[in-house]
Structure 1
Amino acid sequence: MSQSVVKNAKADAPPPGRSAPAGRRLQGHPWLTLLTVAVGVMMVALDGTIVAIANPAIQNDLKASPADIQWVTSGYLLALAVFLITAGKIGDRFGHKSTFLVGAVGFAASSAAIGFAGNIQTVIAFRVLQGLFGALLQPAALGLLRGAFPVEKLNMAIGIWAGVIGASTAAGPIVGGLLVEHVSWQSVFFINIPVGLLALLLGIWVLKDVRAENAAKSFDIPGILLLSAAMFMLVWGIIKAPSWGWGDTSTLLFLGGAVLALVAFALWQRVAREPLIPLSLFRSVPLSAGTLLMILMAFSFFGAIFFVTFYLQNVHGMSPVDAGVHLLPMTGMMIVGAPAAGAAIGRVGPRIPIVVGMVLTSVAMYGMSTLDAGSGSGVMSLWFVLMGLGISPVLVGATEVIVGNAPLELSGVAGGLQQAAMQVGGSLGTAVLGALMAAKVTDVLPGNWAAAGLPPVEGAQAQGLEQAAQLGIAPPPAPGTPQQVVDAMATAVHDSFVSGMSLAFAVAAVVAFVAALLGLLTRRGTTDTGPAVHI
C-alpha cells in the first residue's frame, strides 16, 4: 500500500474508543462506490447509442441537413475520444471524486440544454460539451474503483462495471425507440437529468477520494495540446474517410497530421518535466498489449455490430424497438458474463479468459458472416449469445491489464488510455469495415440487379441506388409497379447488402483472432491496486 493511502486512512480514522458515524462508515464502501460510478457511466454509454434512434426526429423537427445530423453523433464521440486521457490526468491531479461529480453535473446540465434547444447548431454545441463531461466520468470511475476495492475483488467490480456499460450501450436503441415513439426526441436527453442527480447525490454521500501523494502537481500543456490535436485529426479523418474517400487528399492530410502530431507528442514526453503520459508506462509489455488488444477488440466488435442494426431493421423490416429486443441475447450474456469473467480472472488471471473470449468472439463473427437475407431469429440469437459471452472477459480483462499494470498515481491516465483505445478502435472499425462493405455492395449490386431481371440503372439514379443498398434500403417503387418487380428490387438490394455485411464480419473475425493471439502477452497487474477496504 502506498504511503499516501496509509496517510489518508489514518486521517480518516475515528479517535480511539469512538466509532465512526454511520454516514462516514458508508463513505468509501466498495459496493456502494461501484453502484455510484455505474450510475454515472451508464449515462455516457447509453448516450452513445440512444441518440441514433432520435436523429430522424431531430432532423425533421429542427429542419436539419444530413451533415448537421451527422455532427450530432460525431461531435459527441469526437469530444469524448479527444479528451479522455486529459480527463484522466485531471482526476489524478484533483482527485477522482471531484472529477466524477463535475462530470455527472455537467453531463446532466448539457443534456437539459439540448432538450431545450431550438435549433440544430445549439444541439451540436451541447453534444460536444456532453462528450467533454462524459470523458471526465469514465477514467474517474476506474480510479475510484481501484481505490475502493482490494486486489482480490477488483476484477469482479470491473466485471460488473463493464457489464453496466455493455448493457447500457445495447439498451440504447430500445430505450430510445420507446421514448421517441411515445414521448418526444427531447425526452432522450431529459432522461439524463434524474440519472445525473442520482449520481451526484450518491457521489457526495458515498464516494471517498483516494489519491497518491506523488501525482503530478502541474499539467503538461504542450503534451495536452499535441495529444488532443493528434486524437482530433485521427478520429475526424476516420469519421470522414468513407464520404471523402480513403485516398482523398483531405483524408490523407488528417491521418498524416495525426501521425506527425503523435510523433511530436512522443518526442515531447521524453523531455517534459511532468509528462502527460510517461512513456515508461509502455515498457510494460502487458499494458502495451492490453492497449492494442482493446483497439482490436473495439475494431472488430463495434465496427461489425454497427451493421447488425441495419440488417435487422432494413433487411428484416423490424422496428427500432424490435431490433433492440433481438439484440437482448447478446446484451444478456454481457450482463451475466462480465461479473462471471471478473470472478474467473480473479482466480486464474486475465490471460486465459481473454484468449478464450476473443476466440469465441472470432467464431461468433465468422458465424455472423454466414447469415443471409432469410436467416431466422434462432440462428441469429446463437451468434449473439456467443458474441456476448466472448466479449465479456475481454472488456474486463483488458481493463484490468491496462489499469492494473499502471502505477496508482497514473490510474486516471491509464483509465483514459483504456477508454481512448476503445473509442479509436470503434471509430476505426466502423470506418474501415464500412468502406469494405460499401465497396463490396457496389461491386455485386449490378450483377444481382441484372440477375433479378430488372432494367439497368444509370447516372445519379444508380448512385442513389448504391447508397441506399449500402444501408440495406430497397428503392421506393413507382406507383403501379407490379408486386413481383417490387420484390425483385428488394431481393437484389438485400442480397447485395448481406454480401457486404458478410465481408465485414469475415474481416472482423480475422481481427478478433489476431487479438486472441495478442492476449497471450497479457498478465495480471503487478502494482499496488489501492487500499484494502473492509467489505
Structure 2
Amino acid sequence: MSSHTATVTKGAPEPPGPPIAEPARPRGLRGHPWLTLLTVALGVTMVALDGTIVAIANPAIKQDLGATLAEVQWITSGYLLALAVSLITAGKLGDRFGHRQAFLFGVVGFAVASAAIGFAPSVSLVVTFRVFQGVFGALLMPAALGLLRASFPAEKLNAAIGIWGAVIGASTAAGPIVGGLLVEHVSWESVFFINVPVGVLALGMGLAFLLDHRAEKTARSFDLPGIVLLSGAMFCLIWALIKAPEWGWGDAGTLGFLAVALVLFAVFALWETRAPEPLLPLSMFRSVPLSAGTVLMVLMAFGFMGGLFFVTFYLQNVHGMSPVESGLHLLPLTAMMIVSSPLAGAVITKVGPRGPLVAAMVITALAMFGLSTLDAGSGTLATSLWFALLGLGLAPVMVGATEVIVGNAPLEHAGVAGGLQQAAMQVGGSLGTAVLGAVMASRAGGVVGEKWAEAGLPPLKAQQAEQLEDAAAVGFAPPAPAGTPERIADLMASVVHDAFISGMGLAFTCAGIVAVLAAGVAVFTKRGAHDAGPAVHV
C-alpha cells in the first residue's frame, strides 16, 4: 500500500517512523466515489457558470448602477485577480485541514458572496463581493480535485476527471444562454441569485456524502513568507496582463509589474528551497510529467481562452448576433467537449495520456488554423465545423493534463496540485487574452486605414482615425453620420469588419502555432506515478 493513501485524520499522534496510512473507510453512502464526483461537480458548476454568465450581465449592471466602463471591467478583473492569487494557497489549506472542509467552506462562501452581489446597491460593493467570490472559488476548485484524487483508484481517476471536465464544459456553455435569458426576462441580480439554491444543494450533498481525505504526512506549520511572495508575484503578473491592452506592452507600468513579478517569483523559489514546510514544494517539479502537464495547461488555455475572446466579438459585432444567439452558435464547441470529455477519460485510462494528448493538440492546432480562415461571409456550417473540431481537441487536454498534474503529485500535495492546475489555466488564459489581443489589435489597427483608403472613402482626421482603429480591434462598425448613403455606410462597416477579421486570422494562426508547440510538450507526459485513493464502492 502506498504511503500516500488517503486517511481520515482524527487528531491522533503520528507514530514514529514513516507514516503508514490506512484507507479512509466510508460510512454508508459517505465516501462513495461517484456520489463524491456528483457533489463536487455541482459545486464546481457555480464557479464555471459564473465565469461566463457575468459578462452578459455587465451592460445591465452598468446602466442600473450608473457605473463607468472601468468600474464594470473591475467586476471581471477583481474576480480574476482574487482567483489567480489565491488558488495555490487555497489548495494548501485543503491539504492541511481537509479537502471536505475546504470544499464546503468554499461552497458556502461563494453562495453568500453571490447573494450579497445581488443585494449590492453600488458597483463598488459588487466589485468587493466579486473579489470574495474569487477567493471562495479558489478554495472550492482545488478541493474538488483533491477529493476526486483521494476517492478514486488510479484506474478510474481519468474517467472521473472526464466527467468533471464535461460538467465544466456544460456550465461554461450554459453561461451566455442562461445569463441572457435571466437578464432579459428577470434581472441582472438573478444572475447571481441563481448560485444560492445551487450552493445550498451542494452543501447538503457535501455534508451527506463527502468523506474527509487528507494525507497522514501533513505540514504542522504554515509558510507565511511563501504565501506573501507567491501571492504578490501572481498579483503583479495577472495585473500586468490585465492592464497591458490599456497601457501598452512597452509602457513603464506594464514592464514594471512584470519585472516585480519576475523578482518575486525568483525570491519565492529561493525561499521554498529553505522553508521547513514549503507552500509549493519545488521537489514536485522534479517530476517531468507534472512539469510538462503544467506547461501544457498554460499553452492550452493560452490558445483556447485567448481565441474565444475574439469569437464572441466576431459573432456579435461582425455577424450582428445577440448574446444568446452567439452562445447558441458556440454549442458545437461546448457540446463536443461535453461528449468527448468522458470518452477522453476512458481512452486515456486504457492507453495512457501521451498519445491522446499529442493527438488532441494536433487537432486543436488544425481547428485554430481553420478558424483563421473565417471571414464575414462564413456561414453557420463552417463555423460549427471548426468549433466542433476545437472541442474535440480540447477535451482530452483538459482531462489528461489535469490527471497528469494531480496524479503525479503525492497525495499529501493533492490540493496544491489542484491549485497549480487551476493557476496554470488562469495564467494561460490571461496571457492568451493579452498577447493574442495585442496581436489582433495591432494587425486590425494597422490595416484598417489602408482598407479605408482603398475603398475610396473620405480621408479621416487624426482623432477619427484613432477611433476607427479602436472600433476595428473589436469588429464594431460605428454608426455612419446622418445622411450617409446606405451604400457608403455598408462600405464603411465592411472595412471595419475586414480589418477585424484580418487581425483575428493572424491571432488564430498564432494560437495554432502555440498548439503545435503544446503537442511537443505533450510528448513528455505520462500516467500519474502515485496511486489514487482506495477503491471503495467503485
Distance between the aligned counterparts of 1:218 and 1:75, measured in 2? Answer: 30
Partner of 1:15: none
| TM-score normalised according to structure 2 size | 0.96
Can you give the 5+ residue segments of structure 2 that lack an aligned partner in the other structure?
12-25
Partner of 1:33: 36
Residue among 274, 278, 282 paired with 1:279: 282
Matched AA of 1:427: S
Partner of 2:218: 215
1:61 aligned onto 2:64: yes
Residue among 130, 133, 141 paired with 2:133: 130
1:487 aligned onto 2:490: yes
Moved more, 266-275 or 449-458: 449-458
- 1:372-521 aligned at under 5 Å gives the runs 372-521=375-524
Per-residue deviation, 1:222: 0.1
Per-residue deviation, 1:459: 2.2
Matched AA of 1:328: L
Matched AA of 2:145: L
Q: Deviations over 1:323-373 (max 9, x none)?
A: 000000111100001000000000000001111110000000000000001
* 8 Å CA contact 2:361, 2:397 repeated in 1: yes
Distance between the aligned counterparts of 2:5 and 2:276, measured in 1? Answer: 25
1:88 aligned onto 2:115: no
* 8 Å CA contact 2:449, 2:465 repeated in 1: no
Per-residue deviation, 1:10: 12
Matched AA of 2:277: E
Moved more, 507-516 or 157-166: 157-166
Per-residue deviation, 1:531: 1.5
Partner of 1:184: 187
Distance between the aligned counterparts of 2:242 and 2:4, measured in 1? Answer: 43
Q: Deviations over 1:465-522 (max 9, x none)?
A: 2111211110112222111011001100000000000000000000001000100000
* 8 Å CA contact 2:113, 2:130 repeated in 1: yes
Partner of 1:294: 297
Partner of 1:18: none
* 8 Å CA contact 2:151, 2:532 repeated in 1: no
- 1:10-409 aligned at under 5 Å gives the runs 24-409=27-412
User: 1:533–1:455: structure 2 CA closer, same or farther, 3 Å change rule?
Assistant: same
Per-residue deviation, 1:89: 0.1
Q: Deviations over 1:189-229 (max 9, x none)?
A: 00100011111001000100111110112210000000000
Report the secondary structure of 1:170's partner residue: helix
Report the secondary structure of 1:188's partner residue: helix
Distance between the aligned counterparts of 2:524 and 2:512, measured in 1? Answer: 20
Per-residue deviation, 1:450: 1.5
Report the secondary structure of 2:268's partner residue: helix
Q: Which runs of 4+ in 1 moved over 2 A?
A: 1-11
Per-residue deviation, 1:24: 3.1
* 8 Å CA contact 2:9, 2:216 repeated in 1: no
| TM-score normalised according to structure 1 size | 0.96
Partner of 2:18: none
Per-residue deviation, 1:534: 2.1
1:523 aligned onto 2:513: no
Q: Deviations over 1:74-111 (max 9, x none)?
A: 00011001100000000000000000000000000000
* 8 Å CA contact 2:117, 2:129 repeated in 1: yes
Distance between the aligned counterparts of 2:422 and 2:122, measured in 1? Answer: 31
User: 1:390–1:6: structure 2 CA closer, same or farther, 3 Å change rule?
Assistant: closer
Aligned residues: 524
Per-residue deviation, 1:528: 2.0
Distance between the aligned counterparts of 1:372 and 1:436, measured in 2? Answer: 18
Matched AA of 1:307: F
Distance between the aligned counterparts of 1:181 and 1:466, measured in 2? Answer: 31
Partner of 1:19: none
Per-residue deviation, 1:460: 2.0
Distance between the aligned counterparts of 1:531 and 1:310, measured in 2? Answer: 47
Per-residue deviation, 1:150: 1.2
Report the secondary structure of 2:202's partner residue: helix
Per-residue deviation, 1:170: 2.3
Per-residue deviation, 1:457: 1.5
Report the secondary structure of 1:489's partner residue: helix
Distance between the aligned counterparts of 1:166 and 1:81, measured in 2? Answer: 20
Moved more, 110-119 or 446-455: 446-455
Distance between the aligned counterparts of 1:457 and 1:175, measured in 2? Answer: 42
* 8 Å CA contact 1:5, 1:210 repeated in 2: no
Distance between the aligned counterparts of 1:242 and 1:333, measured in 2? Answer: 32
* 8 Å CA contact 2:408, 2:528 repeated in 1: yes
Per-residue deviation, 1:9: 11
* 8 Å CA contact 2:7, 2:216 repeated in 1: no
Per-residue deviation, 1:526: 0.9
Report the secondary structure of 2:59's partner residue: helix
Matched AA of 1:52: A
Matched AA of 1:248: D
* 8 Å CA contact 1:90, 1:99 repeated in 2: yes
Distance between the aligned counterparts of 1:55 and 1:7, measured in 2? Answer: 45
Distance between the aligned counterparts of 1:484 and 1:4, measured in 2? Answer: 71
User: 1:4–1:495: structure 2 CA closer, same or farther, 3 Å change rule?
Assistant: closer
User: 1:494–1:7: structure 2 CA closer, same or farther, 3 Å change rule?
Assistant: closer
Distance between the aligned counterparts of 2:144 and 2:251, measured in 1? Answer: 40
Q: Deviations over 1:149-198 (max 9, x none)?
A: 11111100000101111221222111111111111111110010001111
Provide the aligned C-alpha RMSD in A: 1.4
Distance between the aligned counterparts of 1:233 and 1:334, measured in 2? Answer: 33
Distance between the aligned counterparts of 2:105 and 2:394, measured in 1? Answer: 31
* 8 Å CA contact 1:4, 1:211 repeated in 2: no
Partner of 1:16: none
Matched AA of 1:91: G
User: 1:385–1:464: structure 2 CA closer, same or farther, 3 Å change rule?
Assistant: same
Report the secondary structure of 2:140's partner residue: helix
Per-residue deviation, 1:277: 0.7
Aligned sequence identity (%): 67
* 8 Å CA contact 1:230, 1:262 repeated in 2: yes
